Copies of this chain bind each other. A is one copy, B any other.
Amino acid sequence: MSLYPRPVEELIDHFARLPGIGRKGAARLVFHLLGKSDDDVRAFAEAMVAARVNTVFCRECQNLSEEELCPLCSGSGRDRATLCVVAEPRDVAAVERCREYKGLYHVLHGVISPTKQKSPDDIRLKELLERVGGGGFLEVILATNPDTDGDTTALYIARMLRPYEVKVTRLAYGLPMGGHVEYADELTILRALDGRREV
């Protein structure tokens, strides 16, 4: 016999599949939800489906977007000659939070990783090369994480961009080694932007 009613066990299973959440943590979250009203829980469930179904990838920068073209790509007031290449949408959010960078972005949705069997074809690199090939960019800033896979990806992209007439830079190692762009504080990101160097 299972320890909780079947629907409760099933919801615990779903939560336990999320990264960083074990079965005991999942049970704690589920019991919290069971203490909420039907409406609250339905709203959560609907938000979950809505986030998945109503979100697409921006045609240009590949970031998550409600529209075919995201607000950053379609909006005015951005420097369209500078492109910041990041691994994940949350890295765009991290760079935007420092309110200093005014260029455009390109989201790779992953990094090249021999250990995780991620090849250049598994990330949105083709789209990046097409964008840069289309002209108009003066500088491409490689803002992948300062770890092995992030460095590998940056070096690989730098090599692929060599044929194009564009300056390629890498965020400075103001970022703590082994850290994540996502968790860096604004000042660290600012320093890293300031100290970027040509690859």
Question: Does A64 lie within 8 Å of B19, measured CB to CB?
Answer: no
CB distance from A51 to the nearest CB of B (A): 4
Q: List A residues 76-133 near B (Cβ within 8 Å).
A: 88-90, 92-93, 96-97
Question: Does A53 lie within 8 Å of B34, measured CB to CB?
Answer: no
Q: A5-B66, A19-B29 are in contact. Are A11 and B89 (CB under 8 A)?
A: no
A-side interface mostly: helix
Q: Within 8 Å CB of A11, what residues of B?
A: 47-48, 50-51
CB distance from A67 to the nearest CB of B (A): 9
Complex Cα distance A188/B4, Å?
Answer: 22
Query: Interface on A for B, CB 8 Å cutoff?
Result: 1, 3-8, 10-11, 13-14, 18-21, 24-25, 27-34, 36, 38, 41-55, 64-66, 70-71, 88-90, 92-93, 96-97, 182-183
